[in-house]
Structure 1
């Protein structure tokens, strides 16, 4: 197989040599180390043979010395193919331009589809995509990665819970999940408002129904706060209870803060390098300067090239190199406690309703050992504690 490839690249011919001294001609070729193969005698003065294109000049000299003549019967190999193609350069140029245009257009965005969004949110998403370059006619390899697009669009719109990004050839598809703000519906069925957790009543407002507790009362889960049954036995009236009940709820958080830790920070200095990747071979095309970062991190973004719907074994690779610093943070006991408050408070607020408010906090227990501070913190939180409970007639 390797010999056949070598023969094709070098180029060779099948020729006929005529003359009275064909044997002398063959002998001279052997003496001058000229490869000749598949030698076949046709008649008394004619032989057929194969030889390389590069040896033709030496063979012509030997032909003159031996009085023989040469006629070509077949020309085989890459040099002859290229010569033939050059004679048809207009056709070849048109074919190359056509293939290039197909390749060029196969790596552009032709359509953007957004699913699951209301018209207002869809318009906002399209505007943000346009700002970051995701639009019809943009080159795919010049765009941010799908993860970056997802993060940028999600963070820019408060109405989005999640957005999925998927590229299918020349099309970008976005699946949008909007935040659904529950609308308060008018209760049509009779109900009580009961406590959904243990708490001390902080403030109660009964819009409809009868308040069953007062400020500073302690309630357990399931206790009736606002009753939907109003009046005496004879004039009893059943209705949907309405109102707001704020309760003081207690939470206990525990956290461990190391007094010494290593922090990795980004200095802000970056370097971009671009490559064309052929299989496992990366060919640099831009960003040849060598980074001087002592410590660094790298993010690689790979975008394959397409020809129509077929993915080619060629990719555009972008390496983004960040300079980072490792610094040692040493905290005092006071700073460790402050950090513990900050960490636990953030974690607690993620679990609480939006309108919840932290009224007070206190360290219940702390322990220092093995270079760490272990802290238990008690939080007093004011939040809505009422939830509905249907009234079933006959109970």
Structure 2
């Protein structure tokens, strides 16, 4: 039988057999299901082979039967290594302590690197990172995942467009892309201001140029609002018209609201189980009871332990079960109408500019079909409606 890792785990010996009946000794070993391998003749009445440690006791009777002399010239495997380590306890303890210390240091935070940030943003980022718990000496497996850290940092750092986070060894690397403010506009070319939508003029503030419309006047898309020509006939000047013109615009929205809806919500109650995983085999170490929830959602977090630059086949896992409950939400028809108005308003706001304001709404059509309230709504919006139109020479 070939020597393999199982032999090393359980231990084996190199055995020398001397005597006239060495072959008979080997045959008796095979007959008694004793594993021997790598048999070699090294003399006229001398052979060498390997024998599993667990079979050493079994050969005593065979030695007496065959009148052979047996000696063990080499001991190999973990059992013999363990025995040697036990004899040299101080040395073994020192090596084990050293490896354990290296293991701990390999799973701690020892560096935080920030690139691409101005001093002000770098200071803010360091404060956010410290609030999360990322600091030197902190165990890596006790910190949020890289994805969660990136989300928190990006949401908290207002002056950054994007923040990249990487964990290389024991160092967190943060790469920051800051917001770039638009350059101040230089000289403005001569222009008119025209309407970009159909609207009723609500109010206007003209800084430069000549107003061509008045409040409460209806204008079409592309109609001239503020002219870049100023002065009287014969003394006309061309300027870059500057003004703010707010118009009243109507938007139509179609929305349907179910009168009865089932949805799931988290109750806030949770149970967490912790594991050590060896070669993808999970061994519970804390929180052995399974959650007694009827409905729950499981969030799993894994951390692979490291030793220097090597990733070990050992993971620390946590599985958090969050209790969920099913809720039936029912609206009266009047409540569904109000919910529909607000839903449509939220969707409309997503398409409007920051200067727009919804000042009124009107339900044009309301119907109840198949357990739903169907609405057609018009919203009254005040927003800035100017658009630039360059003045071409010869106009």
Please give the TM-score of this superposition, normalised by the length of structure 2: 0.85
In 1, Cα distance between equivalents of 2:49 and 2:207: 110
Within-5 A mapping of 1:35-50:
38=39, 42=43, 50=50
Question: SS of 2:9's equivalent?
Answer: helix
Question: What is the CA-CA distance between 1:51 and the residue it aligns to?
Answer: 4.0
Match of 2:193 in 1: 193
Match of 1:173 in 2: 173
Within-5 A mapping of 1:139-218:
139-179=139-179, 182=182, 185=185, 187-218=187-218
Classify 1:212/1:118 alpha carbon distance in 2 versus 1 (closer, same or farther; 3 Å). farther
Classify 1:116/1:55 alpha carbon distance in 2 versus 1 (closer, same or farther; 3 Å). closer
In 2, Cα distance between equivalents of 1:2 and 1:261: 68
Deviates more, 1:24-33 or 1:88-97: 24-33
Question: What is the CA-CA distance between 1:359 and the residue it aligns to?
Answer: 0.9
Classify 1:137/1:291 alpha carbon distance in 2 versus 1 (closer, same or farther; 3 Å). same
Within-5 A mapping of 1:1-395:
4-16=4-16, 38=39, 42=43, 50-56=50-56, 70-179=70-179, 182=182, 185=185, 187-395=187-395
Classify 1:26/1:266 alpha carbon distance in 2 versus 1 (closer, same or farther; 3 Å). closer
In 2, Cα distance between equivalents of 1:29 and 1:307: 45
In 1, Cα distance between equivalents of 2:178 and 2:4: 63
Aligned residues of 1:255 and 1:344 also touching (Cα < 8 A): yes
Question: SS of 1:335's equivalent?
Answer: helix
Question: What is the CA-CA distance between 1:327 and the residue it aligns to?
Answer: 0.9
Give the RMSD, CA atoms, in angstroms: 3.3
Classify 1:359/1:180 alpha carbon distance in 2 versus 1 (closer, same or farther; 3 Å). farther
What do residues 33-59 of structure 1 show as CA deviations (whole Å, max 9, x unaligned)?
766674869456x66565443454565
Aligned residues of 1:42 and 1:48 also touching (Cα < 8 A): no
In 2, Cα distance between equivalents of 1:155 and 1:20: 86
Aligned residues of 1:194 and 1:224 also touching (Cα < 8 A): yes
Classify 1:339/1:23 alpha carbon distance in 2 versus 1 (closer, same or farther; 3 Å). closer
Q: Which sections of structure 2, spanning at least 5 residues, go unmatched?
A: none
What do residues 270-321 of structure 1 show as CA deviations (whole Å, max 9, x unaligned)?
1222222233322222222321111001112222233333433333222221
Deviates more, 1:103-112 or 1:365-374: 103-112
Question: SS of 2:226's equivalent?
Answer: strand
In 1, Cα distance between equivalents of 2:42 and 2:110: 65
What do residues 311-336 of structure 1 show as CA deviations (whole Å, max 9, x unaligned)?
33333222221101111111111111
Q: Which sections of structure 1, spanning at least 5 residues, go unmatched?
A: none
Question: SS of 1:109's equivalent?
Answer: coil
Question: What is the CA-CA distance between 1:112 and the residue it aligns to?
Answer: 2.7
In 1, Cα distance between equivalents of 2:26 and 2:160: 84
In 2, Cα distance between equivalents of 1:259 and 1:239: 58
Question: SS of 2:138's equivalent?
Answer: coil
Question: SS of 2:120's equivalent?
Answer: helix
Classify 1:146/1:29 alpha carbon distance in 2 versus 1 (closer, same or farther; 3 Å). closer
In 1, Cα distance between equivalents of 2:42 and 2:171: 65
In 1, Cα distance between equivalents of 2:225 and 2:180: 28
Question: SS of 1:266's equivalent?
Answer: strand
Question: What is the CA-CA distance between 1:220 and the residue it aligns to?
Answer: 2.2
In 1, Cα distance between equivalents of 2:204 and 2:26: 116
